């Protein structure tokens, strides 16, 4: 794997990027072409937003780097589907000086000037280049639809080289190195779609043993009628815990079972200020941690994330039938924004996804059966549920 401070070659980037082409098996260029066209539009949209909200849009520079990396990814995927190496496209758009140079790996850093000006907002030249880039991609898509590339790989290479030239020029005018955009793109891929995920330590692994969240715990969850209302109760080791819950909504949606999501965070992440408060496991031995990570504000953050995700899940059949890698990427990015400044802000997005999917599997079970026994197995990073007699 390429290190953050090692020179990144075009071939090295392509090899890593293509590992995450989850639809490579369909054998057509349609999907990556749609993505290439869409990401060029997203890049234009970031410029438009900066023009509209020049002062308040503080995320412009980071967004441009990310979007340039996404354009590069889809360009790589289109080339691969067409049977052309990205390095061949780069060499076609910027020919090398001689046999020795042609034989050496092309570094992404070699495609741009050594000194890049820093630009915090779009210039007129950048805007014109982006329109030119979008136009080149539009021609590429149109000619693909006409079937021009079916038997003419050279024409495809030429069109892709034109797109590559526009991408390099756009990066130059934005003051962004393509190497930085590529490194960020690969980091995003590993964050969301790792080839061989490695579980990090549970977030409270360094806490005193008596202040760690439970590693192996069973909690009974069940409904019970109290006078004219139905509540959800929780019981652990024969003792009722927490408050009895209703949906707290005008329209019934079974949110009364939502504590399963918090238990999933415990099992998979080793994090939940809500469950810490419920079981009186706040880290009192570390005053700052107790106040900032286990206090009321952290609890509100967790409850806010959980409620927001539920709102998305309702429109997606409560994530039924979804597997690792299926949750919307935008949903995952919003979660990271929610937890900025708190313990799980560096938690990989794929691990968040596991927690969410396991929590919703248990939630769907409770919706159907109205009662069950949750089993937190943090050693296996697993939340499971079984029947409660």
CATH of domain 10-192: 1.10.4010
Does residue 348 contact residue 369 with C-beta atoms inside 8 Å?
no
287 vs 129, 235, 343, 367, CA distance in Å?
Answer: 54, 30, 15, 39
Cα distances (Å, whole numbers) of residue 47 to 169, 173, 238 = 16, 13, 59
Q: How far apart are the first and last CA of the chain?
A: 51
Nearest alpha carbon to residue 259 among 340, 378, 343, 376: 376
How many Cα atoms sit within 13 Å of 183 on the Cβ side?
Answer: 17
pTM of the model: 0.89
Contact 185, 72 (CB under 8 A): yes
Strands (E), the chain: 216-226, 229-236, 239-245, 371-377, 382-386
Mean pLDDT, consecutive 10-residue segments, the chain of 389 residues?
69 94 83 95 87 72 92 96 95 62 80 85 88 96 94 94 96 93 95 92 96 98 91 94 86 94 98 97 96 96 97 97 94 95 96 98 98 98 96
What is the maximal distance between C-alpha atoms in the chain?
A: 87
Instruction: Sheet containing 382-386: give its strands across.
Output: 239-245, 229-236, 216-226, 371-377, 382-386
Q: What is the pLDDT of residue 95?
A: 58
Helix 124-145 crosses helix 30-52 at what angle (to 10 degrees)?
160
Q: Which residue has the tokens 């780097």?
A: 65
66 to 71, 295, 303, 373, 385: CA distances (angstroms): 9, 34, 29, 43, 39
- pLDDT computed for residue 28 by the predictor: 86
> What six digits make up the tokens of 313?
């899940």
Tokens 């959980």 label which residue?
306
Q: How many CA atoms lie within 13 A of 363 on its CB side?
A: 27
d(CA 228, CA 249): 17
Contacts of 134 (CB under 8 A, 6+ apart): 40, 41, 44
The domains of the chain are located at: 10-192, 209-386
Contact present, 47 and 174 (Cβ < 8 Å): no
* Locus of tokens 């652990």: 236
pLDDT at residue 3 in the model:
44
């Amino acid at each position: 794997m390429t290190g953050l401070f090692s020179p990144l070659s075009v071939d090295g980037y392509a090899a890593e990027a293509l590992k995450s082409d989850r639809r490579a098996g369909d054998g057509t260029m349609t999907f990556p072409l749609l993505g290439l066209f869409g990401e060029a539009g997203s890049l234009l949209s970031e410029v438009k937003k900066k023009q509209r909200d020049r002062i308040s849009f503080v995320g412009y520079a980071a967004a441009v780097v990310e979007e340039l990396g996404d354009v590069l990814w889809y360009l790589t995927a289109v080339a691969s589907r067409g049977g052309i190496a990205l390095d061949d496209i780069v060499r076609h758009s910027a020919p090398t000086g001689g046999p020795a140079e042609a034989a050496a790996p092309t570094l992404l850093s070699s495609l741009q000037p050594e000194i890049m000006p820093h630009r915090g907002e779009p210039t007129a030249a950048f805007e014109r280049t982006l329109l030119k880039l979008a136009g080149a991609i539009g021609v590429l898509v149109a000619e693909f639809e006409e079937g021009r590339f079916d038997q003419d790989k050279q024409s495809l290479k030429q069109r892709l080289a034109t797109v590559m030239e526009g991408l390099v020029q756009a990066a130059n005018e934005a003051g962004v190195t393509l190497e930085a955009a590529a490194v960020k793109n690969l980091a995003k891929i590993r964050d969301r779609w790792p080839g061989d995920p490695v579980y990090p330590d549970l977030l409270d692994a360094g806490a005193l043993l008596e202040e760690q969240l439970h590693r192996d715990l069973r909690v009974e969850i069940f409904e019970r009628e109290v006078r004219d209302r139905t509540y959800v109760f929780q019981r652990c080791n024969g003792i009722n815990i927490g408050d009895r819950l209703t949906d707290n909504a005008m329209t019934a949606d079974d949110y009364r079972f939502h504590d399963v999501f918090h238990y999933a965070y415990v099992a998979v992440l080793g994090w939940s200020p809500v469950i810490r408060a419920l079981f009186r496991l706040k880290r009192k031995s570390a005053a700052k941690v107790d106040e900032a990570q286990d206090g009321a504000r952290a609890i509100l953050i967790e409850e806010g994330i959980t409620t927001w995700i539920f709102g998305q899940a309702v429109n997606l059949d409560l994530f039924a039938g979804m597997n690792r890698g299926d949750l919307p990427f935008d949903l995952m990015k919003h979660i990271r924004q929610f937890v900025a400044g708190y313990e799980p802000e560096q938690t990989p997005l794929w691990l968040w996804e596991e927690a969410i999917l396991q929590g919703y599997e248990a939630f769907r079970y409770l919706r159907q059966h109205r009662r069950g026994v949750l089993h937190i197995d943090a050693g296996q990073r697993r939340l499971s549920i079984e029947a409660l007699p």
